[in-house]
Amino acid sequence: MAKLDETLTMLKDLTDAKGIPGNEREPREVMKKYITPFADEVTTDGLGSLVAKKVGNENGPKIMVAGHLDEVGFMVTSIDDKGFLRFQTVGGWWSQVMLAQRVTVVTRNGEITGVIGSKPPHILPAEARKKPVDIKDMFIDIGASSRDEAKEWGVRPGDMVVPYFEFTVMNNEKMLLAKAWDNRIGCAIAIDVLKQLKDAEHPNVVYGVGTVQEEVGLRGAKTSAQMIEPDIAFGVDVGIAGDTPGVTEKEALSKMGDGPQIIIYDASMVSHKGLRDFVTDLADELNIPYQFDAVPGGGTDSGSIHLTHRGVPALSITIATRYIHSHAAMLHRDDYENAVKLIVEVIKRLDKETVDKITYE
């Protein structure tokens, strides 16, 4: 594997951390470690979202940059008498990417390796073999011989189960493979935005936020935005990459490496036109690449944030990512770096007058 520079080390620490919705402590601690040196104050809301505050002008507008800490995973619901674990998906899963995949069960006594199993195809009738296995018919095998043994190892209903995958730099070193890009890349963007602003002047107060429970209904975005009361918000997340075999431009437009995605429409929000125009006009002026996308079947934290208080002009800026909501997803480092660059340049120009113009024109 390629030697990890400072940025890659942070990305590895963030993606290797285990944290499904409601269990975000580990990724929160990693994000806290990396963002604290660039923040004036780091707090959490009551649900556990991390809020790092960086003051430029304390009387200026409040700008929220939010990535979510949680990743899709599973939760143990019961242990059968032979020691197999039944589970609930937490966040969206497609059954075809799950079978025979290695997972980590996080118990109060430590971590246990498991594998997702089902009835073997060799004993299924021919018709059944042609159909994907239902998630409800899957189980997790931890090698226990009985319920009592699994319990002795510390397994309990409610325990978090996380995909097992190690951060990997591909042969093309711009291509990065990891679990949980959805959405530790958003957390990394929030960290790097504050880092770039550390010694820069900016006419506002910036909040770098790691939200909780995005994958189960944009929940931490709601509570953290209520706490911050932002004037402008950016949800930073992953988007769909349309550059793999079989995907048409009608289905997904974006290509990895062609710049961050400006989401004009998704299931949770119509992007704010004034903010969208401001961001894309600046990107054009500074020659920062970007691509437009619409995701009618998904949403981001912006969907919750823009509905708090009296309404918040919001925009989702995302990174085109292959194979999200599986054990291993891939993204392009240039898109990440250009997203940070764009957001930093936008923030430097968001003074009160500009924010009022964006909001009320």
Task: Report the chain's terminal Cα–Cα distance, integer Å.
Answer: 51
CB 331, CB 322: distance < 8 Å: yes
* Nearest alpha-carbon partner for 69 in 98, 97, 110, 32: 32
H/E element, 176: strand 175-178
Q: Which is the catalytic residue, given 24, 26, 127, 214?
A: 214
CB burial class (10 A; 0-12, 13-18, 19+) of residue 187?
Answer: buried
Token couple for 40? 């004036």
CB burial class (10 A; 0-12, 13-18, 19+) of residue 7?
Answer: middle
Token couple for 155? 């397994």
274: left (phi over 0), alpha (psi -120 to 50) or beta: alpha
Give catalytic status of residue 215 as yes or no: no
Angle, CA of 26, 65 and 345, to the nearest 5°:
130
**Strand order from edge to edge, sheet including 168-169:** 168-169, 175-178, 329-332
Please give the positions annotated as active site: 214
